[in-house]
Structure 1
């Protein structure tokens, strides 16, 4: 489900943050009238998270200078971390003094014991100096932009934005890698019958002929991701074959440990113009503040055949077709989603994707109307082109297959991260990285 070369075609049709203890239960007690995810103490979470409801439209990517750069995940080789860009909006008419800092983390995204100067070249507090007020918008906001500092070590980093009181406003995960091992990642064939038509399996191997690894079968740790998502990443994978003579680890599973639902190409809508209805937009009312947008009713795809088209793998791009630069000229609109369903789902239903940080967020929770047999949800979203799908909350997390179905033919990106902690050291290094596109449309 990759946009990349087809982007143009498709679009035309100053204190430190307290470390604390990571919160693992997202269903905390609500404070005031804010959604339950916003906590009074805003304890830092070591994950992609927004701590303030006035923070909107967060994008963290590798700035390549091309039109598709916003779809490049924050993954860079060691020595190029300054290429990672963070952009976001702060709603309101008053700017704030905001700073950022990096926290070095272990492979399981817990803070490491390293001191700041062991992984950075400078003091770990960076003032955001690039920001601009919105122009010509009904919803006032300030748009902030900054770049990541250079790092000395490969591995996992949590990038935190904080206000003048040291309170976190948002956090983003970024990774820095060095290719010290040879990673081979390729699509495989899931064992079994029906799964061959619904799952996508990734087989891979790690060659360590040029690096001395101690007990690699145990000490080498891998993370396998679909579309650069952390919420459904595969952890704890162990090699199925250890080939000491070839100095290679093979990972070829038979119980679907390294298989993902292929899902369907993502749904989409286009609100880059508020003067005329774009793709999947039913009605626009620009006479109210904020502007309201009603999307066309969607239908479940759980039992329908696969439909091929180019998408953006759940991502979104902000732009205004009326005038100016989408970063600070695009306005916000109260956008209403509609999903037809003959009966209620077996759990709460959410609009899901990069627009929700790949989380089941209260502002994207849908309500079911039995009279019209329709789910609806309204969220304040910046003008742009969006991908999304519908997910049902379940015991094992978001269930995207209930309304979306799953197909082996779907285009998806997968990447593999290989970690290793050398003996006597205190940091998990990212010693290998590779990305592969399954069912690429190129």
Structure 2
């Protein structure tokens, strides 16, 4: 539990910033004159890539294990394990790049804190861990950066740019303090079977030693499925139990619960000498190399299948030479989804391979003569998970269940983020965090 002395320090630090808060930069829709193709100038407070030649971005909690890249970029404020950032820059030589951190509120707007209030050093960090690719058809430079420690909990935007100021990428990071205790409960199946099946998660927040003044207004809860921000849900307390110093979060509306969906589709390109999982053929004569995946079909009405996956993530690698960071080559990966007729909206490939975004190059084209949606992505060798998603016409949200179905039995990760804004301040602190695993296998 967080002691009151620590809490007093956090309150003082949050109150110390100036009277004028920052506001998000308006999107200007302009391109810079950078040598990197497609560099954009507007800053977006989300996971985003601004330059076309930036690829394979990963931010994760370092654990010293081979599977550490699957960990989310979330750490406790007193945790010794850092957050690491890795990415490639294609068709260019090594250049000095700069990283900085921006403290943000729960809604990912800048908090307005002075940089000295959340950092002990000057907020400009040069990325010095740089390696050239080795024996790859597409040359690239691999960058690795250890994110510095911060003094306050909360949301942080990591901004990477050229030394001249052109933006390259941004990543969302989380630093939490153990001020409250989150106790989650996995519920039983609800609703009809098939594509609408959801996975109910309810939770309580206990704060016996943490002075929350007005929880209904000042406490915000966010829940994510598989560490995704694109469909994260935010909540206010359903019930406030002042006598027990407890907040209850109970959900009666299906829209407050996540669909279980299905286990992710998988393909493996870590070897280009034979067809691995999900691969139908490899054209080594093409440059870049072309990988044709096995044709997919809709799983909307299929029964649940317990296929192993990594919940939408990816692991780069090269089985022939090892050290996938610099030996992994980039290949064209061709996707095909069988569809007897066109569906009511555009279709995209979705997953960590697209930053969970509806990217233009991940949009599939319908071939009526063949009855398939087809497209290709330039991807680094690795083990990948992915979904197909529909963007219904005139709808705000996408619908993965249209092609993937939905099942209560699906293995998914959930995490719960508890934010609190102390009285008289304008900065949200991340005072509680809890991970849980639904149907972990």
CA drift of 1:289 comes to: 1.3
Partner in structure 2 of residue 270 of structure 1: 268
Partner in structure 2 of residue 297 of structure 1: 295
Q: Supply the distance in 1 between the matched residues of 2:78 and 2:241 (Cα, whole angstroms).
A: 32
Matches within 5 A, 1:53-92: 53-80=52-79, 83-92=82-91
Cα pair distance change 1:210/1:196, threshold 3 Å: farther
C-alpha distance after superposition, 1:275-334 (max 9, x if no partner) = 111111111011221111110100100111111122000000000011131000010001
Q: What's the secondary structure of 2:233's corresponding residue?
A: coil
CA drift of 1:194 comes to: 4.5
CA drift of 1:192 comes to: 4.5
CA drift of 1:39 comes to: 7.1
C-alpha distance after superposition, 1:102-127 (max 9, x if no partner) = 00001100011111110001000000
Q: Supply the distance in 2 between the matched residues of 1:31 and 1:52 (Cα, whole angstroms).
A: 10
Partner in structure 2 of residue 107 of structure 1: 106
Q: Supply the distance in 2 between the matched residues of 1:406 and 1:314 (Cα, whole angstroms).
A: 15
Q: Supply the distance in 2 between the matched residues of 1:313 and 1:141 (Cα, whole angstroms).
A: 28
Partner in structure 1 of residue 162 of structure 2: 163
CA contact (8 A) 1:290 1:334 kept: yes
TM-score (norm 1): 0.90
- Computed over aligned residues only, the root mean square deviation of the Cα atoms, in angstroms, reads 2.0
CA contact (8 A) 2:415 2:436 kept: yes
Q: Supply the distance in 1 between the matched residues of 2:115 and 2:64 (Cα, whole angstroms).
A: 30
C-alpha distance after superposition, 1:126-183 (max 9, x if no partner) = 0000010000100000000001011000000000110011111000000000111111
2:368 is the alignment partner of 1:365:
no
Q: Supply the distance in 2 between the matched residues of 1:345 and 1:405 (Cα, whole angstroms).
A: 15
CA contact (8 A) 1:203 1:258 kept: no
Matches within 5 A, 1:302-321: 302-321=300-319
CA contact (8 A) 2:105 2:154 kept: yes
Q: Supply the distance in 2 between the matched residues of 1:144 and 1:44 (Cα, whole angstroms).
A: 21
- Structure 2 unaligned spans of 5+: 1-21
Cα pair distance change 1:153/1:54, threshold 3 Å: same
Partner in structure 2 of residue 417 of structure 1: 417
Cα pair distance change 1:374/1:29, threshold 3 Å: farther
Q: What's the secondary structure of 2:402's corresponding residue?
A: helix
Cα pair distance change 1:202/1:327, threshold 3 Å: same
Higher deviation after alignment, 49-58 or 38-47:
38-47
Q: Supply the distance in 2 between the matched residues of 1:20 and 1:185 (Cα, whole angstroms).
A: 34
Partner in structure 1 of residue 433 of structure 2: 433
CA drift of 1:79 comes to: 2.7
Matches within 5 A, 1:339-418: 339-394=337-392, 395-418=395-418
CA contact (8 A) 2:39 2:167 kept: no
Q: Supply the distance in 1 between the matched residues of 2:355 and 2:275 (Cα, whole angstroms).
A: 26
CA drift of 1:256 comes to: 2.2
CA drift of 1:80 comes to: 3.0
Partner in structure 2 of residue 12 of structure 1: none
- Structure 1 unaligned spans of 5+: 1-18, 33-37
Matches within 5 A, 1:17-56: 21-22=24-25, 41-56=40-55
Cα pair distance change 1:192/1:408, threshold 3 Å: closer
Q: Supply the distance in 2 between the matched residues of 1:332 and 1:216 (Cα, whole angstroms).
A: 50
CA drift of 1:189 comes to: 3.6
CA drift of 1:233 comes to: 0.4
Higher deviation after alignment, 185-194 or 270-279:
185-194
Q: Supply the distance in 2 between the matched residues of 1:56 and 1:40 (Cα, whole angstroms).
A: 13
Matches within 5 A, 1:326-341: 326-341=324-339
Q: What's the secondary structure of 1:402's corresponding residue?
A: helix
CA drift of 1:209 comes to: 1.0
Q: What's the secondary structure of 2:305's corresponding residue?
A: coil
Q: What's the secondary structure of 1:245's corresponding residue?
A: helix
Cα pair distance change 1:162/1:31, threshold 3 Å: closer
Matches within 5 A, 1:121-132: 121-132=120-131
Q: Supply the distance in 2 between the matched residues of 1:226 and 1:172 (Cα, whole angstroms).
A: 18
Cα pair distance change 1:21/1:41, threshold 3 Å: farther
Q: What's the secondary structure of 2:254's corresponding residue?
A: coil
CA drift of 1:20 comes to: 6.9
